[in-house]
Chain A
Amino acid sequence: MLNIVTCFKWVIDEAYIKVGASRELDLEWADYKLSDYDRNAIEEAMRIADIEGGTVTAVTVGSSDATKGIKDALSRGPEKAIFINDPAFTDLEPSQTASLLAEVIASRLQYDLIICGEGSSDLYAQQVGPRLAELLDIPCIAFVSKLDIKERQVIAERKMEDGIEVVTAPLPALVTVLPDINSPRIPGLKDTLGAAKKSVISIGKEELTGMAKPHLETTAIEAATMERHCIKFNPDAEGIKQFVDALLKEGVMG
């Protein structure tokens, strides 16, 4: 029986972000979503629990805006959720998120295996998983594309730039997973209704020792515009010739 913890983040869906007149990001119309890679993390937690037997607890840090995210996460299979919830828990930097997760996981949960996504869809800093492992003082294996548990050892394949590395570490351990590790399920109506009945434990700021101070200070956020020519040609022989001429002029053909 394994106690599996999976961490997730409720994030702004970047597909809805607009760019304002003076290059500022307009987030007013943005919708939220369960961070893409965290769907893989939850799916992998469920897969391992199915094979090895065990329970899956989903944990998140956020403000009450993330309530919908809890339901979304639970509709993907976990038995229960822990919601580290406070109005102050928005726009945190990775070190703060990791320290909140570490305090709650260490003090309230039994854990053998912690699974995180490789990064969040919004900040994609790829720090929370490895930092959490350090704060809990357990082995960390990041960027895993295949995961197995054998005799209380993690066996993981990591896809590195120079090839695949198969590594092992004793439980308890933390892994971060790549999107190609599995195909996350798409929850059905029954899953969504079932999620509403699952247990959610909410933990507020007053129940914690206090939030770690930030290290980083964001001095500006602006739209990432690309200066491109944006010239379109017709799909006929003449248009394609003009296209090819443009490439020759740029000097990028041979």
Chain B
Amino acid sequence: MAGVWVLAENRDLTIELLNIGRDLADKVSARLTAFLPGDRDRGQEYIDCGADEVLVLPALNPEQTVDAYIPVIVDEGRREQPDIFLLSGTLRGRELAARIAARLDTGLCSQCTALNIDEKTGLLVMERLIFGGAGIQKVVCQTRPQMATIAPRTFEPARRQNREGKIRELPASPESAVKILERKPKDRAAGSITEAKVIICVGRGIEKQEDLALVNKLAAATGGEIGCTRPIAEELHWMPEDTCIGLSGKQVKPELYIGVGISGQIQHITGIRDAKVICAVNNDDQAPIFDAADYGIVGNLYEVLPELTRQLEKITNK
């Protein structure tokens, strides 16, 4: 019997994949299988969230990277012949997916934005962005499994209900050639722009690093986090790399995005395309960001920002 497989590196991302995975599995009358790295106790939760079977990947020793799981997953894949295999498109997930696809000699659609089953052919129709986000490519995969990576937060998490399923432990992984020397976890105290409801984003229109103070005030008035375009982080080093928004940086989904002094190159716009409301402040009324924005203010940001901040403070202090 055909199967749909899901694999993600943590619980929250697995629960998201279980939601879309269950939907697809029902459409093709298949069983849904979730991988569970390490922690067997979570098995029942994954079953309650839609899995028919949970495959536990034994915990790795601390110096092993997740790529140690590849041989075990590939062996299981050859044995079980799943029809569809979805992986969460975190950085580790994307590397893992490409390497598993190479070993299983099948196709992989990277960072899918939509997944559907074609009713006539039963094939998985996958959509993704190409040309820096200027185009949408629709692809189907003629070999099995049909593999895809899916960016985190593309789908809602699955809801938990009482279900029954099997939990099975897979063999331990052989050592991989890549070993971890050191982990430097991210400072959790810092707000994460991928979770922010409001993002104020700065681009090259800001003339000096000191002028970020204006942006800080606007962020404070809106309760938002500050992001930036690639040049601000990479060339000017005014902001940390991990606040960089765009196709090769963070892809964000805030309720409100305000771009300040941003021209709007396609790679950046791709990073914000799922924002609910997009706003822009720029003195060039021909800047491409205005084509991607709901609301724009055409003017000098050094005059607009203080007034905008003042008006917003009035509202939020009420």
| A interface residue numbers (CB < 8 A to B) | 12, 14-15, 17, 19, 25, 37, 93-95, 98, 118-119, 121-127, 129-131, 133-135, 139-143, 145, 155, 158-170, 173, 178-180, 183, 214-224, 226, 228-235, 237, 239-241, 243-244, 246-248, 250, 252-254
Q: Is the CB of A94 within 8 A of B98?
A: yes
**Residue of B184, B296, B299 touching A166 (CB-CB under 8 A):** B184
Known pairs A130-B102, A134-B99, A235-B297; A216 contacts B109 (CB<8 A):
yes
* B247→A234 contact, CB < 8 A: no
Q: Please, what's the 1-or-0 string for B267-294, where 1 marks a CB less than 8 Å from any CB in chain A? A: 1010001001111000001000011111
Q: Which A residues touch B26, using CB under 8 A?
A: none
Instruction: Output the least CB separation between B318 and chain A (Å).
Output: 10
Within 8 Å CB of B110, what residues of A? 124-127
Residue in chain B with minimal CB distance to A24: B135
Closest Cβ of chain A to B253, distance in Å, is 12
Given A222-B135, A229-B294, A231-B295, the answer on whether A166 and B101 have CB atoms closer than 8 Å is no
The answer, yes or no, to whether B11 is at the interface (CB within 8 Å) is no
Q: Which residues of A contact B269 (CB under 8 A)?
A: 226
Which B residues between 59 and 76 are near A, CB-CB below 8 angstroms? Answer: 65, 67
Interface-central residue, A142, A217, A240, by most chain B CB under 10 Å: A240
Contacts known (A159-B241, A167-B178, A167-B179); A130 close to B315, Cβ less than 8 A: no
Inter-subunit contact A219/B299 (CB<8 Å):
no
Give chain A residues whose Cβ lies under 8 Å from the Cβ of B267: 14
User: In the complex, which of the residues A121, A230, A244 contacts B315, with contact meaning CB atoms closer than 8 Å?
Assistant: A244
Number of residues on chain B facing chain A (CB within 8 A): 88
Contacts of A131 in B (CB 8 A): 98-99, 101-102
Q: In chain B, what residue has the closest Cβ to A98?
A: B102
With known contacts A164-B183, A165-B183, A134–B103 Cβ distance under 8 A: yes
The answer to whether A95 and B102 touch across the interface, beta carbons within 8 angstroms, is yes
Task: For A141, give the chain B residue with the smallest CB separation.
Answer: B178
Q: Is B256 an interface residue (CB 8 A)?
A: yes
24 chain-A/chain-B pairs, Cβ below 8 angstroms: A12-B131, A15-B265, A17-B131, A95-B101, A124-B132, A130-B95, A134-B103, A140-B67, A159-B241, A162-B185, A215-B106, A217-B142, A218-B137, A219-B139, A221-B137, A234-B298, A234-B299, A235-B304, A240-B307, A243-B295, A250-B276, A250-B277, A253-B315, A253-B316
The verdict on A232 contacting B297 (CB below 8 Å), with A14-B131, A119-B248 known, is yes
**8 tightest Cβ-Cβ pairs between the two chains A and B:** A235-B299, A215-B107, A134-B102, A130-B98, A139-B177, A142-B95, A252-B256, A163-B185
- Chain A nearest Cβ from B211, distance in angstroms: 17
Q: B255 to A252, Cβ gap below 8 A?
A: yes
B187 to A, closest residue via Cβ: A163
A-B contact count (CB 8 A): 254
Min distance, Cβ B187 to any Cβ of chain A, angstroms: 9
Interface of B is mostly: mixed
**Judging by beta carbons under 8 Å apart, are A230 and B291 in contact?**
yes
Contacts A221-B136, A228-B293 given; does A142 touch B91 at CB 8 Å = yes
Interchain CB contact under 8 A, B292 and A168: no
CB distance from B125 to the nearest CB of A (A): 7
- Per the bound structure, the CA–CA distance linking A27 and B278 in Å amounts to 28
Choose the segment among B14-22, B36-44, B156-164, B228-236 that binds chain A (4+ C-beta atoms closer than 8 Å).
B228-236
Task: Check: B308 CB closer than 8 A to any chain A CB.
Answer: yes
CB atoms of A155 and B142 under 8 A apart: no
Interface core residue of A127, A168, A178, A234 (most chain B CB under 10 Å): A127
Given A224-B133, A253-B256: A216 and B184 within 8 A (CB)?
Answer: no
- Specify which of B130, B142, B285 lies most central, judged by the most chain A CB atoms within 10 Å of its CB: B130
- Identity of the chain A residue whose Cβ is nearest the Cβ of B89 in the assembled complex: A126
Known A-B contacts A228-B294, A237-B307; the reply to A166 vs B180 at CB < 8 A is yes
Whether B92 pairs with A160 at a CB distance below 8 angstroms is yes
Q: How far is the CB of A251 from chain B (nearest CB, A)?
A: 8
- Minimum CB–CB distance from B233 to chain A (whole Å) comes to 7
Contacts of A231 in B (CB 8 A): 294-296
B248, A179: Cβ atoms closer than 8 Å: yes
Closest residue of A by beta carbon distance from B92: A160
CB proximity of B104 to chain A, nearest CB, Å: 10
A215 touches B143 (CB 8 A): yes
In the complex, chain A residues whose CB is within 8 Å of the CB of B179: 167-169
- Chain A nearest CB from B290 CB (Å) reads 6
- Determine if B95 and A93 form an interchain contact, defined as CB atoms under 8 angstroms apart: no
Encoded as 1 (CB less than 8 Å from any A CB) or 0, chain B from 82 to 109 comes to 0000000011101100110111011111
